[in-house]
């Protein structure tokens, strides 16, 4: 099962090792940006420390953490690979920027898609479960659509316009989600009864 494979401890260890190798290669190609490469190596070490810390948590939670660490590793690896390609003049600078933008958009879309699927048991919810579910669905939709828009802008718009356009898409998603959450909270019948 690929989904379980990516959620294993071994996959995170391999990904961390890969990140260290890519960071070192970038360090050799662009030693003047050593802080960035050192930071990524520290992140990889941090991921390994986190692996040790979450050894005893619930298996489902542990798998989620492993999967998230692996996904983060994949996105950083792609960025590092583009940076390396750029330093060897294999990939033009603009393509590298666009790829990073598209990647961020796709991560945003994937996060939005899976947000309503991260269900908390009804008994563990402090708020009205129906309203929480509605808010999660709405925020999931907004985030996913914003992610798709973000990626599309970085594919099709000129670089300068893409910077502004993608930032606007992200901000719109954030404020729409925030407004919806505040509205749902403010109009919660349970809360009004408490008041």
Sole binder of another protein in the list 33, 129, 181, 188 (CB under 8 A) = 129
Q: For 50-114, give the DSSP string.
A: HHHHGGGS-HHHHHHHHHHHHHHHHHHHHHHHHHHHHHTTSS-HHHHHHHHHHHHHHHHHHHHHH
Q: Kindly tell me which of 33 and 134 has the beta carbon lying closer to another protein.
A: 134
Q: What's the min distance (Å) between Cβ of 112 and another protein?
A: 6
Under the criterion CB under 8 A, does residue 119 sit at the interface with another protein?
Answer: yes
Tokens 């990140």 sit on residue: 19
Angstrom distance (rounded) from CA 43 to CA 177 = 29
Under the criterion CB under 8 A, does residue 43 sit at the interface with another protein?
Answer: no
Tokens 């970038």 sit on residue: 26
Tokens 């947000």 sit on residue: 115
Under the criterion CB under 8 A, does residue 112 sit at the interface with another protein?
Answer: yes
**Per-residue CA distances from 17 to 10, 60, 74, 115, 152 (Å):** 11, 24, 12, 29, 32
Q: What's the min distance (Å) between Cβ of 158 and another protein?
A: 30
Sole binder of another protein in the list 73, 105, 140, 165 (CB under 8 A) = 140
Q: How many residues does the chain have?
A: 195
Under the criterion CB under 8 A, does residue 156 sit at the interface with another protein?
Answer: no
Q: Kindly tell me which of 76 and 144 has the beta carbon lying closer to another protein.
A: 144
Q: What's the min distance (Å) between Cβ of 134 and another protein?
A: 8
Sole binder of another protein in the list 34, 114, 175, 183 (CB under 8 A) = 114
């Amino acid at each position: 099962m690929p989904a379980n494979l990516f959620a294993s401890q071994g996959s995170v260890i391999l990904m961390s090792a890969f990140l260290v190798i890519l960071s070192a290669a970038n360090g050799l190609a662009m030693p003047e940006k050593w802080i960035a490469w050192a930071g990524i190596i520290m992140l990889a070490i941090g991921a390994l420390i986190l692996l040790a810390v979450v050894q005893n948590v619930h298996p489902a939670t542990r798998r989620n953490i492993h999967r998230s660490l692996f996904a983060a590793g994949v996105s950083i690896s792609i960025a590092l690979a583009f940076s390396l390609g750029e330093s060897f003049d294999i990939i033009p600078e603009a393509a590298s920027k666009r790829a990073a933008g598209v990647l961020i958009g796709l991560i945003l879309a994937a996060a939005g898609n899976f947000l309503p699927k991260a269900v908390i048991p009804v008994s563990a919810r402090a708020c009205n479960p129906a309203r929480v579910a509605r808010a999660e669905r709405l925020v999931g939709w907004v985030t996913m659509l914003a992610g798709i828009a973000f990626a599309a802008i970085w594919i099709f718009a000129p670089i300068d316009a893409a910077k502004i356009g993608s930032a606007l898409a992200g901000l719109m998603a954030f404020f729409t989600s925030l407004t919806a959450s505040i509205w749902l909270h403010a109009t919660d019948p349970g809360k009004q009864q408490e008041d």
